[in-house]
Amino acid sequence: MLSLYTVFRAVSMFLSIIEWAIVIYCVLSWFQPRFRAFYLLRQFIQPFVSPFQKLSMKMSRYFNAPIDFTCLFAILGIQILQRLWWVLYRLLALRVF
């Protein structure tokens, strides 16, 4: 039987992996790579990044700058989600124990 901490830690590690995958994708995208691993990485992070694309477009138009903030917003969203995740753990741990 998995403990409550183990489940929360596993989800937190998964969110960290997603966060690092986004950072690696951003750095690699500066060099315009054409290898298969880059496209697989893009397919992996796309579901986590796509909700922030509209917000990024609005910010680009507002500042009149051709900068894509999508990955930055995704990383910030994941970090906020991780913090809320551990707050939920603390609340559940207080109730259970």
Is the whole model's pTM more than 0.85, yes or no?
yes
Total domains in the chain come to: 1
On whether the CB atoms of residues 22 and 49 are closer than 8 A, the answer is yes
DSSP string covering 16-81: HHHHHHHHHHHHHHTT---SHHHHHHHHHHHHHHGGGHHHHHHHHHHHT-----HHHHHHHHHHHH
Q: Are 41 and 28 in contact (CB under 8 A)?
A: yes
Tell me the pLDDT of the chain averaged across its residues.
Answer: 92
Q: According to the model, what pLDDT value does residue 96 have?
A: 78
Question: What was the pLDDT predicted at 13?
Answer: 97
User: Which band of pLDDT confidence, cut at 50, 70 and 90, is reported for residue 17?
Assistant: very high
- Average pLDDT of the residues in 65-88: 94
Domain encompassing residue 92? 4-96
